């Protein structure tokens, strides 16, 4: 991989991971990417919880009925949370940090997948944010945006096919309705 354009084309969500653990250097690189992410007014309202414990990964995988089971097989999960009291745009800030870490993972040859927590519920309709909060002792002033799962890829994904680029969503000069 030799360019940013290649990297973003090759980054596809990985939901199957091998058992191989990450090195402390790899984990540090991922965290540095999150900590270097731009944030509005440089308020840095986010916190990152690093989870490698197998039992905790398996509990986190139950944070939603669908779309979270891959966390159980990951080598690492980074829980991304932020404080609405520190920034009115905490969702944007935590989202940017989440994707920065996913792009860093791809650059390290690792797979990753975003698990959405904000506005989601568990199988018994508990708010997923509260479920994760209780598991990880998160104080009330912080909310969980996402859990990003990382690990070595155990599945082949094709790079993004540029034939699927939705150029019709790009409008030149002003919004154009329904023109194909
Ligand atoms: C905001 C956001 C929330 C997402 N939530 C989930 C999720 O909860 N579970 C999941 O399996 N994938 C989740 N994804 C991954 C998307 O499903 C995936 O990025 C999309 O289908 C495009 O596929 P690709 O990442 O392989 O290119 C999420 C991605 C984003 C950006």
- The response to whether residue 9 sits with its C-beta less than 6 Å from ligand 1 reads no
Ligand 1 in reach of 114 Cβ (< 6 A)? yes
Reading the chain (180 residues) residue by residue, the pLDDT tens digits are 479 999 999 999 999 999 999 999 999 999 999 999 999 999 999 999 999 999 999 999 999 999 999 999 999 999 999 999 999 999 999 999 999 999 999 999 999 999 999 999 999 999 999 999 999 999 999 999 999 999 999 999 999 999 999 999 999 999 998 755
Token pair for residue 25? 């250097």
Confidence at residue 178, expressed as pLDDT on a 0 to 100 scale:
72
Asked whether 96 lines ligand 1 (CB < 6 A), one says no
pLDDT at residue number 180: 53
Confirm or reject: Cβ of 105 under 6 Å from ligand 1: no
Query: What domains can be seen in the chain, in order of their start residue?
Result: 17-155 (3.40.109.10)
CA atoms of 133 and 136, how far apart (whole Å):
5
What is the 111 CA–ligand 1 centroid distance (Å)? 13
Query: 151 - beta bridge partners?
Result: 111
Name which residue sits closest to atom 29 of ligand 1, judged by CA: 114
Give how far Cα 24 sits from Cα of 28, 46, 71, 101, Å.
6, 21, 19, 15
Which atom of ligand 1 lies at the shortest distance from residue 99's CA?
31
Model-level pTM? 0.97
**To which H or E segment does residue 51 belong?**
strand 46-51
* pLDDT at 177 (0 to 100): 86
């Amino acid at each position: 991989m030799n360019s940013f354009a290649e990297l973003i084309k090759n980054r596809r969500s990985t939901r199957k991971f091998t058992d191989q653990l990450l090195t402390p250097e790899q984990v540090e690189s991922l965290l540095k990417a999150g900590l270097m992410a731009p944030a509005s007014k440089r308020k840095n309202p986010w916190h990152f919880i690093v989870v490698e414990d197998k039992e905790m990964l398996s509990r986190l995988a139950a944070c939603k009925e669908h779309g979270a089971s891959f966390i159980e097989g990951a080598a690492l999960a980074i829980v991304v949370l932020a404080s609405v009291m520190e920034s009115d745009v905490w969702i944007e800030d935590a989202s940017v940090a989440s994707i920065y870490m996913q792009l860093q993972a791809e650059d390290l040859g690792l797979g990753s997948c975003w698990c959405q927590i904000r506005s989601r519920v568990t199988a018994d309709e508990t708010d997923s944010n509260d479920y994760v909060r209780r598991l990880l002792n998160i104080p009330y002033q912080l909310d969980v945006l996402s859990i990003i799962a990382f690990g070595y890829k155990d599945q082949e994904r094709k790079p993004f096919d540029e034939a699927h680029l939705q150029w019709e969503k790009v409008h030149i000069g002003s919004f154009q309705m329904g023109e194909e």
